[in-house]
Structure 1
Amino acid sequence: MASLAATKRLTKEYATISKSPPPYIVAHPSECNILEWHYIITGPPDTPYEGGQYWGTLLFPHDYPFAPPAIRMHTPSGRFQPSTRLCLSISDFHPKSFNPAWEVSTILTGLLSFMTSEEMTTGSVRASEHERKLLAQRTRWWNSTGAGSKALAAPQNSNTRGIGAIKSGDGGAKFRLEWPEVDEENIKWMKEKKINLTTGFPTATASQSPCSPEVAGLRRRPNGSATGVGAVVQGGQVARDASQSWLGRNKWKIMLATLFAYIIVARMVGDGTATTSA
């Protein structure tokens, strides 16, 4: 349970951050627990996270602001292990270094700054820029579907990651509870982009070929005639069929002709040998 000082301080900070949010950051406390805050960081331009929607939590101690919160980012980013406590100077890993003058906006601005750096710590991971960009494209899907899960059960905590951890597979229930308006926007966005709710990737339409245009062009012409590789294969098959059919019909004639030719040659050779001996 939050102390009176913590409740008063966090209530004031919520009013401040709602009125003047830091760049690329929005945050609010849970309706059920003022010590549990939810934030969304929008990936800044000119970073691998550009346009990504990164959801996480701050779990404040009852004696805040005299002790720092536990910081987690639930959305896979390629920068942090999802739903894992992060070891930062502004987190509960370093309570002695925390400054009571720091506010929620200060903490989240520091988290964003660390996210866009390459410094390593407990809870961070290494990934290529390409991998992080791919993850950024799927963040809305991950948040609103629970990584493709269709279950709408209550979110489950991970025993291995502590209180406040979010597991994929809750059908996006926890995110939907805390961010209903954002979730609605995400669902609309996924419909417009034709995102497959199971995979998070765009759904191929009937008019789209699963292979490249260059390969598709080798298959058939618009009028349906065979061309390219298909024509070669088809032509070869026709030739083989024709050859096998002709041989099947004339195999006895061929055998007799071969035998007759052999007899003629044998006689000629025999006559030549007899003349030479005489």
Structure 2
Amino acid sequence: MSAASSSARILINQLKKMQKEPVEGFTVELIDESDVYKWRYYIKGPTDTPYENGIYQGTIDFPEDYPFSPPTLTFTSEFWHPNVYTDGKVCISILHPPGEDEMSGERPEERWNPTQTPETILLSVISMLSDPNFSSPANVDASRKKANQELPPGFTMPEPFKFKPEPSTPLNADDEDFEFEIDEDDDIDLDEDVGDLDEEVIAEDEE
């Protein structure tokens, strides 16, 4: 089984689970149903922050060797935050490649590992909106603000509106219209795959 077909099946299962069991604060969908590696997300701004009531969207780009390598998460809505680059790319530790980084001071357990999921990533982003990391800024100008309550002149938060509802037709990997090709012989059990990944991570840590 190729790495691409394995990661595609994992992503399909994770997307279906997130649509079937939605978590308050965000929704996800495929940008193009023929490409399971590119997702769109919608995050509702957390309460008691400048982002409250705003709906912010962006993209998640997964590598073909997911979940061994982290995805890239980018805001496509205009965004002002110490941990978001000016191009919208999110900079948080769990999206950094596995291993220790002496320059940043991040410990291996703070960085990416294969047990992370799109759900845990988006929950971390929501946490980031409420509690920015000023010690490791991606946007230096934003980090100079004493608190995330201070916004640059001319920056206007989106007007509140109803949170985007769940897609009317959740993704089904068995649908005839689903165009992403996976070998018919591929039979992946998500729980078994993640269990195997956990064992590999533990084995690497013991070494």
TM-score by length of 2: 0.59
Alpha-carbon distance in 1 for matches of 2:151, 2:10: 39
Correspondence list, 1:238-277, <5 A? none
- Going from structure 1 to structure 2, the CA distance change for 1:9 and 1:123 (only over 3 Å counts) comes to same
Aligned length: 142
The alignment's C-alpha RMSD in Å is 3.0
- Going from structure 1 to structure 2, the CA distance change for 1:19 and 1:180 (only over 3 Å counts) comes to closer
SS at match of 2:157: helix
Displacement, 1:122? 4.9
Alpha-carbon distance in 2 for matches of 1:45, 1:84: 21
SS at match of 1:94: coil
Correspondence list, 1:1-278, <5 A? 3-31=4-32, 32-79=34-81, 80-91=84-95, 93-96=96-99, 97-120=111-134, 121-124=136-139, 125-126=142-143, 129=149, 131=151, 135-137=156-158
User: Contact 1:75/1:82 (CA < 8 Å) preserved in 2?
Assistant: no
Question: Gaps spanning 5+ residues in structure 2: where?
Answer: 100-110, 169-207
SS at match of 1:3: helix
Question: Gaps spanning 5+ residues in structure 1: where?
Answer: 141-178, 182-278
User: Contact 1:30/1:37 (CA < 8 Å) preserved in 2?
Assistant: yes
Alpha-carbon distance in 2 for matches of 1:2, 1:34: 14
- Going from structure 1 to structure 2, the CA distance change for 1:116 and 1:5 (only over 3 Å counts) comes to same
Displacement, 1:138? 5.1
| Amino acid of the structure 1 residue aligned with 2:55 | Q
Displacement, 1:87? 2.6
Q: Which has the higher strand share?
A: 2
Displacement, 1:40? 0.8
How many percent of aligned residue pairs carry the same amino acid? 26
User: Contact 1:25/1:40 (CA < 8 Å) preserved in 2?
Assistant: yes
- Going from structure 1 to structure 2, the CA distance change for 1:98 and 1:118 (only over 3 Å counts) comes to closer
Alpha-carbon distance in 2 for matches of 1:59, 1:122: 22
Describe the superposition over 1:22-76 as per-residue Cα deviations: whole angstroms up to 9, x where unpaired: 2211112222421111111011222211111111111111010111101111212
Q: Which has the higher helix share?
A: 1
- Going from structure 1 to structure 2, the CA distance change for 1:82 and 1:41 (only over 3 Å counts) comes to farther
SS at match of 2:93: coil
- Going from structure 1 to structure 2, the CA distance change for 1:49 and 1:2 (only over 3 Å counts) comes to farther
- Going from structure 1 to structure 2, the CA distance change for 1:101 and 1:33 (only over 3 Å counts) comes to same
TM-score by length of 1: 0.45
SS at match of 1:35: strand
